[in-house]
Amino acid sequence: MDTELGWWGVLIAVIGGAVRVSSPYLFVALGETLTERAGRVNLGLEGTLVLGAMTAFATSYLTGSPWLGVLAAGGAGTLLGTLHALICNLPRVNDIAVGIALFIFGTGLAFYLGKDFVVPRADMLPGLPLGDWSDIPAVQSALEISPLFLLGVELAFFLQWAIYNTRWGLVLRMAGENAEAGRALGLSVPLIRLSATAAGGFLSGIGGAFLSLYYPGNWNEGLSSGQGLMAVALVIFARWNPVRCFWASLLFGGATALGPAVQTVGIASGYYLFNAAPYVMTLILLIWASSPREALVGAPREVSISR
């Protein structure tokens, strides 16, 4: 980083970092939005994210095709999502507890199967150099954007439209708002929730692929630092709205990029505190978005997390 940019450098790094770091948040948040819109909470998306990252990296390493890795990550996520939904479809099962179990199971499986892939290098996803017009390296690196990010942005707007303007979106919302009404119409609520949770797992898996194949772009056991978990809180902050999920993930991405960015201007002390910024921010946003008296604004009524 150019030292003469000084604090401007920090700003550029935070903005660039926000774009770069936000993708996993965005994909997990969109996946969780789908799941919660159908009336379930999947707290295990952190495990899905890690398993997706491992699967993507291993697939890319073994086949040489990073895009195949992205698909495989989505597939692994779909499997975990389906597992969550199938267990939750049983009677007397608490979906939040299943999420915690899946968190432990998913990370355990990823670390077990991924042990052999810690050392090798795999083929990475390419970036789109949108900053070539500038000759400042900081700006160039800030504007090198992953195609997955653009895909995520488009997906956010598409989901926003689909949830409110298609029959499919209406069915999804009905399962989340009033399962009885869905049943009265002859819809299978468990099936709707299964599809939504599986789709949510698919998206979270892709978020994991971004971690291992683009940024930071490697596979190790410390790859994810709770992004999958924070994304669940992010959905509450975004009030279950896909486009707001996009803005919120940029905000979270910026908070995550703050620690490394501040370090570049020579502030080394408090490194760990800056790294805690996203968690503290999540907590503050949760406190701000919650209310002691009523259910959260915009929350699907069947979702247990909002009551």
Partner 1 sequence: MSPSDADRASRQAMSPAGPNYAVLLGGPAREGVEAVTLSILALLGAFALFAVFVAVQGHDPVAVYRVLWLGAFGTSFSIENTLTLAAPIILTALCTLIPARIGLLVIGGEGALIMGGLGAVLAGMAITGLPGHLGILWCTLMGAVFGGAWVAMAGALKHWRGVNETIATLLLNYIAIALMFHLVTGPLRDLDVAIKAQSYAIPQAYAMGDLPGWSVHWGLVYGVVVIAGVHVFLRHTVTGFSMSVLGGNRRAAQMAGLNIGGLTLLAPGRGGAAGGLAGAIVVVAVHRAASESLVVGFGYTGILVAFLARQNPLAVVIVALVIGGIAASGGLLQRRFGMPDAATDLLLGMIFLAVLASNALAGRLFPAR
Which one of residues 6, 8, 64, 104 is an interface residue with partner 1 (CB under 8 A)? 104
Q: Closest approach of Cβ 92 to partner 1, in Å? A: 5
Tell me whether residue 115 or residue 121 sits nearer to partner 1 (CB atom). Answer: 115
Q: Residues 211, 226: contact at Cβ < 8 Å?
A: no
Q: Contact, 193 vs 36, CB < 8 A? A: no
CA 287/CA 37 separation, integer angstroms: 22
Buried b (16+ CB within 10 A) or exposed e, 87-125: ebbeeeeebeebbebbbebbbebbeeebeebeeeebbbb
Backbone dihedral angles phi then psi of residue 154, each to the nearest 5 degrees: -60, -40
Residue selected from 34, 171, 209, 232 as contacting partner 1 according to rule CB under 8 A: 232
Q: Between residue 173 and residue 202, which ones bind partner 1 under the rule CB under 8 A? A: 179-180
Given 101, 124, 130, 151, the residue binding partner 1 (CB under 8 A): 101
Q: Cβ closer to partner 1: 34 or 236?
A: 236
Count of Cβ atoms closer than 10 Å to residue 134 Cβ: 12
Do residues 117 and 219 lie in contact, with contact meaning Cβ atoms separated by under 8 Å?
A: yes
Q: Indicate the residue among 136 and 187 with the shorter CB distance to partner 1.
A: 187
The full DSSP string for 94-134 is: -HHHHHHHHHHHHHHHHHHHTGGGSSS--PPPP-EETTTT-
Residue choice 6, 64, 115, 170 for contact with partner 1 (CB under 8 A): 115
Interface residue with partner 1 among 35, 107, 197, 204 (CB under 8 A) is: 107
Least distance from partner 1 to the Cβ atom of residue 26, Å: 19
166 touches partner 1 (CB under 8 A): no
Q: Assess 106 for contact with partner 1 (CB under 8 A).
A: yes
CA-based radius of gyration for the chain: 19
CB burial string 58-86: b at 16+ within 10 A, e below:
bbbbeeeebbebbbbbbebbbbbbbbbbe
Tokens 């970092």, residue located: 17
Subset of 54-83 contacting partner 1 (CB under 8 A): 83
The residue from 94, 134, 165, 166 that contacts partner 1 (CB under 8 A) is: 94
Question: Which residues make beta-bridge pairs with 145?
Answer: 128
Strand 128-129 and strand 144-145: the pairing is: antiparallel
Shortest gap between Cβ of 222 and partner 1 (angstroms)?
Answer: 11
| Contact pick of 4, 7, 90, 266 for partner 1 (by CB under 8 A) | 90
Q: Which of 38, 49, 72, 109 binds partner 1 (CB under 8 A)?
A: 109
Write down the least CB distance from residue 108 to partner 1, Å. 4
Q: Is 267 in the site for partner 1 (CB under 8 A)?
A: no
Phi, psi for residue 129 in degrees, rounded to 5: -80, 85
Binding residues vs partner 1 (CB under 8 A): 43, 83, 87, 90-94, 96-98, 100-102, 104-112, 115, 179-180, 225-226, 229-230, 232-233, 236, 269-273, 275-276, 279-280, 282-283, 286-287, 290-293, 302, 304-306
